[in-house]
């Protein structure tokens, strides 16, 4: 069992071939005040371009940071879980 809740924040597609590269997933702790952890998951990768790299979480666009801020606020306020997971993932090009 995971001690955190997961929310898909974004889906990255390749700038060259347009195929899916990875999903950006946020892990929200049940402990208040803990920053969401973000990780790339490449299990459904379709892009085979060697040059395509995923940005480090710290280098993600502002739209991702806004979404993470919303998730953090929703988690802190103990709002319904659907508010954290109900929004469609952001489309990112890498």
| Interface with Zn ion (CB under 5 A) | 14, 16-17, 47, 49, 52
Nearer Cβ to Zn ion (7/52): 52
Q: How far is the CB of 45 from Zn ion (least distance, A)?
A: 9
Nearer Cβ to Zn ion (51/58): 51
Q: How far is the CB of 1 from Zn ion (least distance, A)?
A: 35
Nearer Cβ to Zn ion (14/22): 14
Whole-Å CA distances, 82 to 1, 26, 79 = 20, 14, 8
Q: How far is the CB of 51 from Zn ion (least distance, A)?
A: 8
| Buried/exposed code over 14-42 (b: 16+ C-beta within 10 A; e: otherwise) | beeeeeebbbbbbebeeeeeeebebebee
Q: Are 27 and 6 in contact (CB under 8 A)?
A: yes
């Amino acid at each position: 069992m995971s001690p955190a809740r997961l929310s898909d924040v974004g889906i990255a597609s390749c700038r060259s071939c347009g195929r899916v590269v990875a999903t950006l997933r946020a892990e929200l702790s049940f402990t208040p005040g803990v920053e969401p952890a973000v990780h790339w998951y490449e299990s459904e990768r379709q892009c085979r371009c060697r040059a395509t790299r995923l940005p480090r979480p710290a280098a993600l666009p502002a739209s991702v940071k806004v979404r993470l801020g919303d998730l953090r606020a929703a988690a802190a306020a103990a709002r319904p879980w659907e508010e954290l997971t109900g929004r469609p993932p952001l489309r990112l090009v890498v």
